[in-house]
Structure 1
Amino acid sequence: MTPTADFWFDPACPWAWMTSRWMLEVEQVRDVRTAWHVMSLAILNEERDEHDANWLRKLGLVRVLIAAEQAHGNDALLPLYTALGNRIHVEGRGINGDGVLEESLAEAGLPASLLEAATTDQYDEALRKSHREGMELVGMEVGTPIISVEDTAFFGPVVTPAPKGEAAGKLWDGVRLVAATDGFFELKRTRDREPVFE
């Protein structure tokens, strides 16, 4: 049976985007499939961030993703995340880019009516549940991405550019190796470059 890697993301995070593209490469070279889940940087930082237009836009993006999942199933998340990520990160339009949400819904084959979810709290209970499920696996000191596989969860890896082919598989092997080591918690160094979107 193919193991599942559960992956929590916020579409606003460029590092989660890089890791998600790596995970898609991993699926091509290792026996694993990815189940996608939504978390929210707006919720994670709601006690310390000003609830300004940018914060609300971040919250609106994940509300739309949760609404899409609720109405169209978990399989709707990856196409919508990919459409959003290409516009926000690869094209450099950002989360406030004109038409980002509308175009992404259309590309993913989802109805424009889902836009209404961005400005309502109707899906917030489901959003907080998904967010909490990811955070409870790794603790509150991290953000996105979170990956859980075979009863082990971790933040990251944070990498740029996203490794491809067998290089992606080797990184996956290494991440699983250290994550499966009892008592292992962290490897980290200061980031010295911005995300490279290839």
Structure 2
Amino acid sequence: MSTTPVTLYFDATCPFAWVTSRWIKEVEAVRDIDVTFAPMSLAVLNEGKDIPAEYATKMEAAWGPALVAAAVYTKEPEKVDAFYTALGTRIHDHGEGGREGEGAYDDLITEVLEEVGLSTDYAAAAHSRGDDPEAWEPTLRSYQSTAIAKVGDDVGTPVVELDGRAFFGPVLTRVPRGEEAGKIFDAAVTLGSYEHFFELKKSRTEDPSAE
């Protein structure tokens, strides 16, 4: 069988992207896939929207991890998996997420960069906003535009591209393991291969957890 290319566009602060990404990591062990993790941004996605004040402050905090991810992806794309895994583990599995306000994740970002062997110089990207040629915000916005162009505006994160066909989701609240992960992946690829398939959805009754 041929290798299936998979691209998962993530925001490190999103619990749904985290669960889906851990499913993809499970799939790596049981299927022949070539995975790319690429940044997108909940902060950009929610710009101009009428969102609760508390969520708005969380979006301010989300800029930092997304900007650093954009810098790492641009310069050392092969390290994004390790960076995202380490940061996501701290945010979602160790309960260090849900932070509010600009710079809220600065300490975690620096610690994770050191943990995975990346230069801590990347941490400066967390505050690299604006249109300055040295800023990373335009680059992050370009990655966001790439993800959204594949699926349309009425979606969130994650965006997953399976063998050339992209969708919002799958939205999972638990991580399928082993062969179960593989079977769900096979089903997603099959649905995605039909050019007229667009949506399969039901109301969610529980919060996501990667346990």
TM range (shorter): over 0.9
1:116 matches 2:120: no
* Residue equivalent to 2:28: 27
Percent identity, aligned pairs only, is: 38
Per the normalisation by structure 1, the TM-score is: 0.93
Structure 1 vs Structure 2 CA RMSD: 1.7
Match of 2:111 among 103, 113, 116: 103
Q: CA deviation at 1:95?
A: 4.9
* Residue equivalent to 1:63: 67
1:195 matches 2:208: yes
Structure 2 contact 40–147 (Cα < 8 Å) conserved:
yes
* Residue equivalent to 1:145: 158
Local SS of the residue matching 1:181: coil
Alpha-carbon distance in structure 2 between the residues aligned to 1:195 and 1:4: 25
* Residue equivalent to 2:6: 5
Structure 2 contact 7–38 (Cα < 8 Å) conserved:
yes
Unmatched 5+ stretches in structure 2: 130-134
* Residue equivalent to 2:96: 93
1:183 matches 2:196: yes
Structure 1 contact 58–95 (Cα < 8 Å) conserved:
no
Moved more, 167-176 or 42-51: 42-51
1:5-33: CA deviation from partner (whole Å, max 9, x where unpaired)? 11100011001000000001111111111
Local SS of the residue matching 2:70: helix
Amino acid at match of 2:95: G
Structure 2 contact 11–17 (Cα < 8 Å) conserved:
yes
Local SS of the residue matching 2:22: helix
* Residue equivalent to 2:58: 54
Structure 1 contact 65–77 (Cα < 8 Å) conserved:
yes
Alpha-carbon distance in structure 2 between the residues aligned to 1:95 and 1:78: 21
Structure 2 contact 18–210 (Cα < 8 Å) conserved:
no
* Residue equivalent to 1:83: 86
Unmatched 5+ stretches in structure 1: none
Per the normalisation by structure 2, the TM-score is: 0.87
Alpha-carbon distance in structure 2 between the residues aligned to 1:55 and 1:172: 30
Q: CA deviation at 1:68?
A: 1.8
Local SS of the residue matching 2:167: strand
Moved more, 120-129 or 94-103: 94-103
